[in-house]
A and B are shown apart, each in its own frame.
Chain A
Amino acid sequence: MRRLIALVPIALLLGLAACGGGGSDLGGTSTTQPPPSGSNVATLTVDAGPAENSVNTPFVTVTVCAPGSTTNCQTVDHIEVDTGSYGLRIISSALASTFVLPFETDASSNTIVECTVFADGISWGPVATADIQISGETASSVPIQIIGSAAYPTPPTDCSSRGAVTEDTVGTFGANGILGVGAFVQDDGFYYTCPQGTCAGIEPTLAEEVSNPVAYFAADNNGVIVELPSVAPAGVSSLTGALVFGIGTQSNNGLGTATIYTLDPDTGNLSITFAGSTYSSSFIDSGSNANYFVNSSIPVCESGFFCPSSTLQFNATITGINDASNSFAFSVANADTLFDSNTSGVAFSNLAAPEPEPDSFDFGLPFFFGVNVFTAIADQSTPGGTGPYVAF
């Protein structure tokens, strides 16, 4: 541990200090600055969510409008902010039944319907076209997914066979929707048309795919910053931060001296070295509610999280495809103890769980507490270079 501390470059500490971070950096002091303000800043809230069972899940409020309209709109709160996916998806029941967006159609005027596959289930629903307003930013005519639409209620077997369950309600999905603001534009999902009620797979054009709305903004469209304050070891019952749009486009979203870690252009992954092993399919993901890593010795409790007998301290080294590399400290506390002693807790910096993928280390939302995390979109230019990259 002492040797690792000596290896941490001064630039890292300066970089974190410059962007208001500190909670997770090795050797740094924990400081929390007030969230930034501006037309490119949306409020992030970490709470139990509409399903009342979320932990370490950041939410934002999004307004969707019929294309070209500024009055035929609906505002939806509790949209999960996910740097591990791409595109806006809204659960149909979170929208008023009177609010109708036009469905996207193929050349034969058939509605395009998507099967979105998550590791814990699938979500099925048509692609609609919407104007999206978040903070002061507007994206025009963006393909989004309406999950659980009454017009397309049942996924084809080919879709439902890719997950344990269909997540098409707020309760099963855990949010009113999800905003994928990761390092790519298109979601690369499974698309179908269903003429006469029989669905068959299609190959949509890139422009037809559900897409990261940030890339559709008129400005501040090259990436995002997730800014969340540090969290005390016992956890907190509420947490507020900011989702800042653009990298180096305004006075409030500069990279400062943050280190840039470029990502694999196919997967969005980078490399993390932990306990002597290198995990080359690793990632930094606001959609993961804990830090997930390979370990067979720490006890796992019924909740699926690690439950060590006493809090453990670790370091892991993040290395970009560009070989930029720094070490970060994190803690693993007993999840049962955390939940039992803070029953209203919604944000825990020391929550961790086993990662099954033998080649992955997943730094989830706990990593973001006290560290401003930049995510730059593939092929978009920023003052720090072209995406895809993460920086902190």
Chain B
Amino acid sequence: MKSIRSRRWALGAALVLQAVAVPAFATLGGNLSSIEDDQLKMKGTLRTTVAAAYTVHEIQTPAGTAVREYVAPTGVVFAVAWRGPQVPDLRQTLGTYFKQFSDAPRPAHPNHVHFAVTQPNLVLQSSGHMRAYFGRAYDPQLLPQGVAVTDIK
């Protein structure tokens, strides 16, 4: 909430960086053209990266958390990921999937450092500790061909 912490956001060599002036952001499962308020809500800066199978829109929040949204050529957001000192607003980021996330079964042996949801249309993995969190969520039914889960980071 207070300090801005810089982190390294390594990009794959195959990715091409593009500057984008207009906020164009969506929530998981949403359409790129339908929602443009995430960046405003998170008061973040946006950059867009284009890869062969998808486009990545990344919002950097003032606190230093990066929220990345993965958009298929069809314009649908098939995955999101976050990394940084704070967990972002997941209701905003997950959109209609947030309720499924909230209602998901709790693990038999829980801990506060890891949580996972594995369902036919939602895979979500959250991990980390105070000052360093990570998470990814995707809809396997929306995953474009050729995209590896490990690309979502």
- Shortest beta-carbon distance from A49 to chain B in Å: 10
Determine whether the beta carbon of A356 is less than 8 Å from that of B112.
no
The interface-forming segment of B29-37, B67-75, B81-89 is B81-89
B113 touches A119 (CB 8 A): yes
CB of B109 within 8 A of CB of A289, answer yes
Question: Is the C-beta of A381 less than 8 angstroms from some C-beta in chain B?
Answer: no
Within 8 Å by CB of B113, from A54, A190, A362, lies A362
Within 8 A of A (CB), among B85-134: 85-92, 98, 101-102, 104, 106-117, 125-134
The answer to whether the Cβ of A288 comes within 8 Å of any Cβ in the partner chain is yes
Q: Is B47 an interface residue (CB 8 A)?
A: no
Residue in contact with A201 in the complex, picked from B1, B87, B113, B127, CB distance below 8 Å = B1
B66–chain A nearest beta-carbon distance, Å: 12
Query: Would you call B112 and A82 a contact (CB within 8 A)?
Result: yes
Cβ contacts under 8 Å, A305 to chain B: 109
Contact A164 B115 (CB under 8 A): yes
Distance, CA A191 to CA B130, complexed state (A)? 14
In the complex, the answer to whether B88 meets A162 with C-beta atoms within 8 Å is yes
Q: Is the beta-carbon distance between B101 and A164 smaller than 8 angstroms? A: yes
Partner of A355, one of B83, B110, B115, B127: B127
Is B150 part of the contact surface with A, judged by Cβ < 8 Å?
Answer: yes
Bound Cα distance from A304 to B89, whole angstroms: 25
| Complex contact A356–B1 (CB within 8 A) | no
**Bound state CA distance, A248 and B131, in angstroms?**
27
Give the Cβ gap from B118 to chain A, nearest Cβ, in Å. Answer: 9
A119, B132: Cβ atoms closer than 8 Å: no
Q: Are B127 and A292 in contact (CB under 8 A)?
A: yes
Bound Cα distance from A203 to B135, whole angstroms: 25
**Interface range for B:** 35 or more
- Give A182-198 as 1s and 0s: 1 = Cβ < 8 Å from B's Cβ atoms: 10100111110000000
When the two chains form their complex, are residues A356 and B134 in contact, meaning their CB atoms are under 8 A apart? yes
Also in contact, A357 and B129, with CB within 8 A (given A53-B109, A164-B101, A203-B2): no
Closest to B8 in A: A280
| A55, A165, A266, A364: most-surrounded residue (chain B CB, <10 A) | A266
In the bound assembly, the distance between CA atoms of A121 and B135 in angstroms comes to 13
- Contact assessment for B128 and A57 in the assembled complex, using a CB-CB cutoff below 8 Å: no
Give complex CA distance A86, B130 in Å.
8
Query: Does A98 touch B at the CB level, under 8 Å?
Result: no
Cross-chain contact of A267 among B2, B107, B131 (Cβ < 8 A): B131
Q: B57 on the interface (CB 8 Å rule)?
A: no
A190 touches which of B1, B102, B106, B136 (Cβ 8 Å): B1
The answer to whether A163 and B90 touch across the interface, beta carbons within 8 angstroms, is yes
Q: Is the CB of B111 within 8 A of A288?
A: yes
Q: What is the minimal beta-carbon distance from A25 to any residue of chain B, in angstroms? A: 24
Contacts of A82 in B (CB 8 A): 112
Other than A356-B114, A360-B127, give 20 A-B pairs with Cβ distance below 8 A: A55-B109, A85-B130, A86-B130, A117-B86, A118-B112, A119-B133, A163-B90, A164-B115, A182-B129, A182-B130, A203-B2, A267-B132, A268-B131, A283-B129, A287-B113, A288-B114, A289-B109, A292-B114, A357-B128, A360-B134
Residues of B with Cβ closer than 8 Å to A?
Answer: 1-3, 5, 83, 85-92, 98, 101-102, 104, 106-117, 125-136, 150, 153
Q: Which residues of A contact B (CB under 8 A)?
A: 53-55, 57, 82, 84-86, 117-121, 157-158, 160-165, 172, 174, 178, 180, 182, 184, 187-191, 201, 203, 266-269, 281, 283, 285, 287-290, 292, 296, 303-305, 353, 355-360, 362, 364
Q: List 10 A-B contacts (CB under 8 A).
A: A54-B109, A84-B113, A85-B129, A119-B87, A161-B98, A180-B130, A266-B131, A269-B132, A288-B114, A303-B109
